Amino acid sequence: MVRGWRHLRRAALAVVAVALSGCVQSLDDLGVASHDIPPELLASMHAKGMNPESPVLVRIFKMESELEVWKVDGSGRYALLKTYPMCRWSGKLGPKTKTGDRQAPEGFYRVAMGGLNPKSQFYLSFNLGYPNRLEAALGYSGEALMVHGACSSSGCFALTDQGVGEIYAVVEKALKGGQQAFQVQAYPFRMTPQNLAAHRDDPNFAFWKNLKEGYDIFEVRRWEPKVATCGRKYAFDAEFKDGDPGDPLAICPERIDQTDPAVAAKTSADDQKYQELAGKSLPPLAYQDGGMHPSFRSLLKENGDVKLAEKVSAIKYPISRPVAALADPFDGRE
C-alpha cells in the first residue's frame, strides 16, 4: 500500500511541475521583483472575469508548500487566480502555540490594510494577525507572523521577492478597492481524505478536522466562510439563537442555521473515503524543519543556497536552514 501512496504522490508532483514549468525551472526564470501587478497577471484576471479591485482571499498549504490567491469573478464567487510555490516555511505540520517554536500558523485570519508592510526587511509583507481571537483565548503566544519575501522562515511563510511582490500588489489593490479585510486560510495540507488518513494518528487531528469544516464550505460554495469561535474551536457559517458567542472557550450556544446540503454531501463523501483509507499503512512525514516547494528544492540542490538567495531576494538574505530544506520529508516512504 505504501508504494501505491508514493506513486500517487509522484504523479501529483509531476502535475505541479508541469504547471510551474514556465516560471521556476531555472534561476533566470524567477524574473524581477516589482510592487505592481504584472501585465500578464492583469490579462489573466480579465480573462477570468475578475477586476483588479474585486475581493481577494488567500489559502496556504504547508505540506504542498503552496499559496493560492483567489478573487471574485463575474459570477460573484471566488475563482482561483494563481498558485504560488512557497520557498520556505519552518517547523512541522501543526499550529503555532508559543513564541520561539518555529511553527508557522494554521487557522483562519483576517488581514486589513494596517497589516500590510511596504517597508518590510523582507521586501514586502503582510501580517496574518496571529494570534487570532481563538488562539489568544487558548493562551497561544507569538507575534509578527508574516507572509513575506526572501527564502527564510522562523514561523513565517516565505516566498521569493518576485512572488510576494505580485501577491502584495493584488491584495493591496483589493483593499484599496473597498474590501475591508481579506481572509487567509492556513492549512497543514490540502484537506483531502487521503491526507487526513495519512495523518490520522497525529495529535492535531481533531484540530485539523475542525479546519476542514471551513475548507469544505469554501470548496463547495466558493465564498469565504463566516468564522465564529466557541467551544475552543472554530464555528463556520453559524447563526446562534442569541447572537455570536463572546467567549471562545465557552460551550457553543444553540445554533439556528440550516446545514447546506451540498456541503453536507461533500463532508459525508469525504468521511466515507477516509474510512476506506484509514486502515492502510503510511509512514509519517519526517520534517526536519519546515518545507520548501519541490521546484525550489531543485534550484537549491543545483545552484546552492548562496546563488538561490541572490536570485530570490534583493537583500540576498540567507536561505534558512538549507540542509533541512533539502531534506524531502517523503523520502522515507518506500
Show which residues are catalytic. 148, 156
Biggest CA pair distance of the chain = 59
Which among 164, 155, 159, 151 is positioned nearest to 124, based on CA atoms?
Answer: 164
H helix intervals, the chain: 2-20, 39-47, 133-137, 161-176, 193-198, 205-221, 261-277, 294-312, 322-326
Q: Which residues contact 7 (CB under 8 A, 6 or more apart)?
A: none
Q: Kindly give the pairing relationship between strand 116-117 and strand 181-187.
A: unpaired
**Whole-number Å distance between alpha carbons of 298 and 295:** 5
Q: Kindly give the pairing relationship between strand 116-117 and strand 125-127.
A: antiparallel
Helix/strand/coil for 227:
strand
Instruction: Note every long-range contact of 241-247, with CB atoms under 8 Å and residues 24 or more positions apart, other chains counting.
Output: 247/137
**Residue 21: burial class (beta carbons within 10 Å; 0-12, 13-18, 19+):** exposed
Q: DSSP string of 165-180?
A: HHHHHHHHHHHHTT-S
DSSP one-letter code for 283? P
